[in-house]
Structure formats: C-alpha cells, structure tokens
Chain A
C-alpha cells in the first residue's frame, strides 16, 4: 500500500511542478513555433540550451533554416518545406543544427503546419530531438550497406567472368558446316550455372561438338564444369571413339571425390570425300533432335548412363550420315523444363521451333528467345543449345 501512496504523491507533486509553462520550457525535446515563412516566434528553453542562444538572439530574428548547415538548408528548401506545404506535416527529417559556438547537433525533426478556417497557413510547429548517437549509428550502417553493395557488385562480376570461361570465347566454326550455339544463364546471370558447350578440332577432318549439364549451381558446379570441358579436350586427343571419351570422363569424375555428376551429348564429326558423318554418344542427357529436310524432327541416338556416377557405365554410339539440309540440335534440359506456372516448355514446342526455322543459326536464336520469353524473361535454369547442319548448296 505504501508504494501506491508514494506513487500518488509523486503524481500530485509532478502536477504542481510541471505546470504548462514548465512542460513546454523543459520538455525533453526542442519546441519551436515559426511563421509559415520560417521566422521563429517562440522556442523553449531546451532548444535554446541546445543551440546556446538566448531568446533575444532568436525570436523574431532568426528563421529555422538559419540554424541549419548549408547542406541542410538545401534539403530543407527542396524537401522539408514542400512536404510541409503539401501534406501539412513532415516527419523524421534528419538535419544538423549549428550551435552558437559553431558546433553541430544532429537532430530529428517533426513539424506540423496549422491553417486557419480560410485555409491560410498560420503557424509551423517544430519538435526537435537530439539524435547524436543515433546518427552515428546510422552512419556506420550506411558505410556497412555501401560495403555490402560493393561486395555484391564484385561477386556478380566474378560470377560473370567465371561463366564466360565455361563456353568458347568466340562463336565456334567448322568449315563447310553450319554451326550455331548459345548459352543463357539462369535468372539474371548472378549465379554461375552448370551448362556448357564446346566445339574443337581433333584433326584436319575431325571435330568434336559437345553439350553438357553439371548437376547443381554455384562455384562447386563451375569447378566440375571447367574440369569436364578440359578433360574432354584432353581425352579427344587420345581416343577416336566418342564413347571412350565419356568413359574417360566418368573415371575422372569418380576420382574427383565430388557428389556432382553431369549429363552430356557428344558428337564426333568426320568429313570425307562424300561429305559429313556424325557419331553421337550420350550420357544421361536428352537425346538430340535430327531433322531431315521436309520431315518432322526425331530424337536421335541411344540413351547412356549419367557421367560420374557408376563404376561401369554404358555409353552407346549411333552414327548418321549428314546429307545437305540435315540439322542436328543438341540442347540441355533448361529448354524442355523451362516453366511457366505449372506448364513446361516441353518437347512439342521444341520440335515446332526446330521444324519451322530454316537452319542452325535461326533455330538456336529462336529457341533461346522463345524459352526465355516463355518464362517471362527470367529462366529458372541454364539454357544451352548447339546446332550443326550441312548447307543445302
């Protein structure tokens, strides 16, 4: 009971001591009243103490902006004053007051504009809060935010640079063959994906064209992607058989102590006196489409094991002679599994594009555009396409 009585007594004492004048003068924040133009007509003792000036130096002599830094004045005139005029109040404006001794007091300012019955602006009331420590903390936050943003920019740049090393720096070419390829990373390109392609010669009349997809994303996947691409180049010099190259890569990945595996379609292209032939081997990868002129495209080849999973994988070989007008389209599942809501882009759309477009360049370009557009411009997975064809003439 004695606690309750003491509290009541304290309340009554406070009422006596905190008369309205004391409430105003000694409030724990600065109070000012100004004309609509900003001339100070009244301010409390707390405010006068903070800025180190007497009433006689302030009231009727200074405007609120006169007490701001030059930078703060610009902000006041371009943001604070217009906001006050337009919406009758301004909140949480951060400004620095210049004190009589030239020091600075960081403050947060709330203000209201009162109008009379006819709508004429009459008085501006301003409450000022000391924000010294808060401002210090905010500055540190800002610096941290800037550092984080800079780091993000660096990471993006690194990802894009790394991504570029996973595909040939210039569009590959094979004499007397039409060839086109494209790669589009998932999302907005911030992350390193796992799709890759490569085209390189292994003799005067022999070429390898390969497309692949390493499981997962990010730096770990990129390491395996890079390893796969370079291993295949090395193996191509030692093995004539396409399937032997995948067997070699399978061994390398098994020894790599990684959970990651990849899927691959690999073509060995050979030119002889009669034209081009292709030997295809695949490992866990969607089968390429083969299009003869005037005929609907068909899946071509035989399915093989995932690469980098089994000790004894099987990789079959399928051979085809490429006549003028024939086109082979190799692609990753980023094409067929491109999604719009619950619908996949799917094989039907893929076949329609391959069937409709003239040659490798048109097929590749249209396919990538189509799949990206299908996903509203933000593909969920990497997309890689590679097409080779024998010109008609």
Chain B
C-alpha cells in the first residue's frame, strides 16, 4: 500500500491510518518533493511545473521498490497524481483509493469545482503571508537533520511547512490544473472517499469523479472537512478496509 499525501502537509498525515494496514500490506510512505524531509535539491521547476512530474516521481518510488499490485491511497491532489500514474503504468496498480479528490477546483461552464480563479489567486497570497515565518535557517533543519534529536521540537512544528517557492508552485499546479480527462482512462477499481462537508472537494465533485471513473465507487463518510484520515481515522480505516482487500463495496 502506497500512501500519497496532498498539498499542504507531508507523510505524517497518514500516521493515524497507515498502521492499521501494516498486518496485511507492505506500507510505503513518502514525501513529495518540497514537502517534509524530501531533498530540496530534487526540486525541478520544469518537472514539477505539472502534475505529470509528480506522477513520474510517484512511479519512480514504485519502480525503485519494484512494487506490483499496488493499492495507492492518495489524498486530495495526490488522488489525481495517483490517477495519472495508474494511467501511465496500469500494470503496477491493483486499486486506487481517492480521499477527497478533485480533478478541477475552478468552476467551468456547468462544472462546479467550488472555486473561482480569483479565489485561487487569493489563496496564493495567503500562502505568501503564512510563509513569512519560514526562515532559511529552518530549511536545513526540516529537510536534512533527522539524525539530530535536538531539532525534534522544531520538526514537530514543521509538518505543514514547505519551501515557500515550492509551495507556491505546487499550489498553482494543484489548484489551476484540469485533470478531468484522465479519470475516464483509469483502468483499476477505484474507491472515492467523500466527506460530508468538504470545502475543498464538495460532494458534487466526488460524485463527478466517481461517475467519470470506469470502475469507481463512492463511500460517503460522516466525517466533515478535507482530512478524514486526521479527523476521523477509524471511520476512514473502516471505509477502506474491505475495498483494499478486494471485497465489494456497498454503493452509497
């Protein structure tokens, strides 16, 4: 099982959920480039200027570990990164779990993504204001010093920190990309986990994704918000458990 975190945080997001599957699966956690303790030098503005670059990174991890029959759990934008990876190398994947996916955040014609372009630009500004606290001195501590326990306190504070320039670009790519066309080409069974009151990925979007997937099913969660794996880990685990082991999923 490969867990892919979404925009904003890092692999720590999965810590309430991933251990529940360790009995039956080999668990693979990783940080996308620019997040968590990834190597800052690996960031390439061109490669990471599209979601394809991130999908290629994901495939690099999978190929390096030579994984087959992968159950990929992707949150938010990583759900779509997972879809891109599955379409590129379908033989590697067994199933996809999409937690709060959205292939397009901006409204367009009859499609309701939930946001307008000015909203996204405003969010980018919000990012800038919030990364004022980022200091160059902290960067090496976050990225490269897991062996120094004295930095533990700062590291705790750094879950949702990214290099501001990388975060800004990742936000742009995440929120301005349209990956709706990819959904129809996903070949493996896919479970969409949809929260009941998700501002980022509303129920209508989850329904759209499920309908566009050739083998998609949706499970509605009682959990609210965009991160059920943090706010309602038990419910999230229960909703995935049958599907990841190949059992049929009750349609909701």
Contact = CB atoms under 8 A, between A and B. Distances in A.
Contacts, number: 104
B124 A77 contact: no
A38 B173 CA distance: 28
Contacts of A87: 156-157, 159
Interface in B202-232: 224-227, 230-231
Contact of B227 (A65, A82, A91, A96): A82
A95 B126 contact: yes
A94 interface: yes
Interface of A, helix, strand, loop or mixed by DSSP: helix
A234 interface: no
Contacts of A161: none
Interface stretch (A50-58, A67-75, A282-290): A67-75
B230 A77 contact: no
A83 B156 CA distance: 10
B119 A71 contact: yes
Interface in B157-198: 157, 159-160, 175, 197-198
A93 B225 contact: no
B132 interface: yes
Contact of A94 (B121, B126, B200): B126
B12 interface: yes
A141 B128 CA distance: 11
Given A70-B119, A78-B226, A138 B160 contact: no
Nearest to A73: B199
B125 interface: yes
A87 B8 CA distance: 15
A71 B227 contact: no
A135 B230 contact: no
Contacts of A36: 231
B231 A83 contact: no
B74 interface: no
Interface string B223-252: 011110011000000000000000000000
Contacts of B129: 94, 135, 138-139
B220 to A, nearest CB: 16
A70 to B, nearest CB: 4
Interface in B10-63: 12-13, 15
A85 B126 contact: no
B9 interface: yes
Nearest to A75: B126
A141 B133 CA distance: 13
Nearest to A68: B126
Contact of B159 (A83, A94, A95): A83
Interface string B126-160: 11111011000000000000000000000011011
A85 B231 CA distance: 7
Contacts of B66: none
A94 B199 contact: no
A75 B9 CA distance: 11
Given A79-B130, A86-B230, A70 B156 contact: no
B133 A92 contact: yes
Contacts of A362: none
Nearest to B123: A71
The 7 A-B residue pairs with the shortest CB-CB distance in the complex, in nearest-first order: A71-B122, A78-B8, A71-B123, A70-B119, A94-B129, A85-B230, A77-B226
13 contacts: A36-B231, A65-B199, A70-B118, A70-B119, A71-B125, A73-B199, A75-B123, A78-B76, A78-B226, A82-B9, A82-B13, A83-B9, A83-B159
Given A73-B199, A86-B230, A87-B159, 4 more contacts: A71-B121, A78-B200, A79-B130, A85-B231
Interface of B: 6-9, 12-13, 15, 76, 115-116, 118-130, 132-133, 156-157, 159-160, 175, 197-200, 224-227, 230-231
Interface of A: 36-38, 65, 69-75, 77-79, 81-83, 85-87, 91-96, 121, 135, 138-139, 141-142
